[in-house]
Amino acid sequence: MQRILICLLSLLTVTAGFGQFKKSENIVVITLDGFRWQEVFGGADSVLTFDTAARYSTNYVKDHFWAATPQERRQKLLPFFWSEIASKGIILGNRDYGNYFNNANPYWFSYPGYNEIFTGFPDTAVNSNDKIPNKNENVFEFLNKLPEYKNKAVVFGSWDVYSYIFNDKRSGLLVNDGYKDLAGTLTPGQQLFNKLQHEMPAIFHDGERVDVATFHIAFEYMKARKPKLIYFGLGDTDEFAHGGMYDFYLDAAQNTDDWIRQLWEYIQSTPEYKDKTTLILTTDHGRGLAAGGNWQHHGQRIAEASEMWMAAIGPSVKPVGESKEKAQAYQGQIAATIAAMLGKEFKPLHKPLPVLTFPGK
Ligand SMILES: [Zn+2]
């Protein structure tokens, strides 16, 4: 690990620094837990679509997601992503072009991944999914201490471990995760989603709610309170993949693509957000390959599980589209990049990985 770190830090020393971006005033982060780069760039996987031994509905996959070429398939799966974001934003991680985006941490599962994204560092002490309050300061917490972001940084997640990852007790951030009800003065929409989340099927058990509840609770909060930093931590993709339900996995990704469309249309039609909000999309880890069945799984024993993607759109991002540059970036660079897009330098106790070098406007 030490060797990997030194190697990647030396690779990354030639960065443009935090002054490279045109400033954003707001940042929205959305993660699709364990959603593979293979589907992002290639749509429905041919091995999984035509698997005659599959225990999911391959007919459903064919009907909804299949097309002759990977370009058509990805467009069908993620129509907003491959129109608006591909034309006005940037997409990293297509390994077919040598554009690599990876975990810097060696674990390739959720808590270490989210820790790396938001605290900017692959901490080897963060090596389980246990509900342990995170010792590391995250970038939302850092920004929430500055007057302009005070009480304007919020976290919504399907998985009930986010309150530990963001250490809400120490950080003071609002973290609404698992089946938590939103408190305080609520709009009729917020009251409805507080109620509905308990009436939806608890298909994942273990305190993880379905994303449709998380998304709308967060979206209603955004409309009512206009936070400057908001995170949507979504988990359906990972749960359905672990369950071997490729049809539902693709459905979850497509639903999320449409939520991102709704969110972006709201952002671009709301004075507090329009043309001053950058949206960042990514995942916490990758998964294995379809051949051999490892697509269901991730973790250290799955060789490809550190392979990921990220995308961004907004005033701090040039419309590069799908990056075809031979390059290596890490999820741990996102924390410093979020701060840099706001014109700030993230200064936690440990030194975060440097900001991403993708071109700013
Ligand atoms: Zn998982």
**Other residues' Cβ atoms within 10 Å of the Cβ of residue 254:** 18
Exposure b/e, 188-218, CB count within 10 A at least 16 = b: eebeebbeebeeeeeebeeebbbbbbbbbbb
Residue 34 Cα, ligand 1 centroid: separation in angstroms? 6
Say what the pLDDT of residue 349 is.
80
Q: What is the reported pTM?
A: 0.94
DSSP states of 88-151: HSEEE--GGGTEEEE-SSSS-SHHHHHHHHHHSS--TT--S-S-----SPPHHHHHHTSGGGTT
Residue 314 Cα, ligand 1 centroid: separation in angstroms? 29
Q: Per residue, what are the HEC states of 288-347?
A: CCCCCCHHHCCCCCCCCCCECCEEEECCCCCCCEECCCCEEEEHHHHHHHHHHHCCCCCC
Residue 238 Cα, ligand 1 centroid: separation in angstroms? 5
Strands 277-282 and 310-313: antiparallel
Which range has the worst mean pLDDT, 37-51, 197-211, 264-278? 197-211
**Calpha distance 92→313 (Å, rounded):** 12
**Residue 347, beta-bridge partner list:** none
**Calpha distance 48→287 (Å, rounded):** 14
Please say if the pLDDT value at position 2 is more than 60: no
Residue 198 Cα, ligand 1 centroid: separation in angstroms? 23
Say what the pLDDT of residue 10 is.
42
Please say if the pLDDT value at position 288 is more than 50: yes
Please say if the pLDDT value at position 14 is more than 60: no
Complete domains list, the chain, with CATH = 2-341 (3.40.720.10)
Cβ proximity of 167 and 176 under 8 Å: no
Residue 39 Cα, ligand 1 centroid: separation in angstroms? 16
Residue 209 Cα, ligand 1 centroid: separation in angstroms? 15
Q: What is the mean pLDDT of residues 148-153?
A: 97
Q: What is the mean pLDDT of residues 101-110?
A: 97
**Calpha distance 269→265 (Å, rounded):** 6
Say what the pLDDT of residue 352 is.
85
Please say if the pLDDT value at position 18 is more than 80: no
Say what the pLDDT of residue 166 is.
98
Residue 35 Cα, ligand 1 centroid: separation in angstroms? 10
Exposure b/e, 315-333, CB count within 10 A at least 16 = b: bbbeebebbeeebebbbbb
**Calpha distance 264→278 (Å, rounded):** 10
**Other residues' Cβ atoms within 10 Å of the Cβ of residue 69:** 10
More confident residue, 157 or 4: 157
For 313-332, write each residue's pLDDT tens digit. 999 999 999 999 999 999 99
What percentage of the chain has pLDDT greater than the value 70? Answer: 94
Residue 281 Cα, ligand 1 centroid: separation in angstroms? 18
Give, rounded to a whole angstrom, the gap between the first and last alpha carbons of the chain. 35
Say what the pLDDT of residue 13 is.
38
Say what the pLDDT of residue 361 is.
53
DSSP 228: S
More confident residue, 357 or 294: 294
Residue 17 Cα, ligand 1 centroid: separation in angstroms? 33
Residue 189 Cα, ligand 1 centroid: separation in angstroms? 31
